């Protein structure tokens, strides 16, 4: 099924009337939002979401995108969540650190979603699209948190994303983030 044949009630064309915000026009009514999660494992249904960051994207008058607002939360594991020791070793997260100051999954997601909705409105967009390195991993954890909390207003498209690992592999022959950035000269 092609995307052209998919009638998505949330896929808008930005604001009413004939003039569209440049961001809405550039991304067909979608707002790119960069998201990164740190987790207690690989299974979004059973493993804890431990940290989440989201960066909304702005666009200048020349059409160049830039980071606009950043949201970051350390997250308390949900009740019964699995946390693999190897995941904590890999991320370096110390759950018992006195300065961790984690918030509930609900608080983190509500605050991020509030900021994303504000950016959607400001840019004349109808839906956010997650941008991430191995984006399906991040989107899976976002969607699992939404399902756990039975949230009704998820601003992110449920399955579409911009995956920088795939794009870097295509453009630079590198899928490891550090190597891709080096190949890109950034």
Give the integer Cα–Cα distance in Å for 69 and 116.
9
Percent of the chain with pLDDT over 70: 90
pLDDT, position 20? 81
Domains along the chain with CATH numbers: 21-184 (3.30.420.10)
**Angle, CA of 97, 102 and 108, to the nearest 5°:** 160
- For residues 20, 128, 51, 75, the Cα torsion angle rounded to the nearest 10 degrees is 100
**Angle, CA of 144, 43 and 81, to the nearest 5°:** 75
pLDDT, position 42? 98
pLDDT digits (tens, 9 = 90+) for 78-121: 999 999 999 999 999 999 999 999 999 999 999 999 999 999 99
Q: What does pLDDT average to over the chain?
A: 92
Banded model confidence at residue 19, pLDDT cuts 50, 70, 90: low
Give the integer Cα–Cα distance in Å for 62 and 55.
20
> By C-alpha distance, which of 20, 24, 7, 10 is closest to 154?
10
């Amino acid at each position: 099924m092609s995307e052209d044949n998919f009638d998505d009630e949330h896929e808008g064309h930005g604001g009413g009337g004939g003039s569209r915000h440049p961001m809405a026009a550039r991304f067909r009514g979608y707002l790119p939002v960069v998201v990164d999660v740190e987790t207690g494992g690989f299974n979004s249904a059973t493993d804890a979401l431990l940290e989440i960051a989201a960066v909304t994207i702005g666009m200048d008058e020349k059409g160049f995108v830039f980071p606009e607002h950043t949201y970051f939360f350390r997250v308390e594991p949900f009740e019964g969540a699995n946390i693999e020791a190897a995941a904590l070793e890999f991320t370096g997260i110390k759950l018992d650190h006195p300065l961790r100051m984690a918030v509930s999954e609900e608080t983190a997601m509500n605050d991020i979603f509030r900021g994303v909705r504000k950016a959607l409105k400001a840019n004349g967009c109808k839906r956010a699209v997650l941008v991430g390195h191995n984006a399906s991993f991040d989107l899976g954890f976002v969607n699992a948190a939404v399902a756990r909390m039975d949230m009704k207003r998820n601003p992110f498209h449920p399955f579409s994303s911009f995956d920088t690992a795939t794009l870097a592999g295509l453009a630079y022959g590198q899928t490891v983030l550090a190597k891709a950035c080096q190949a890109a000269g950034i």
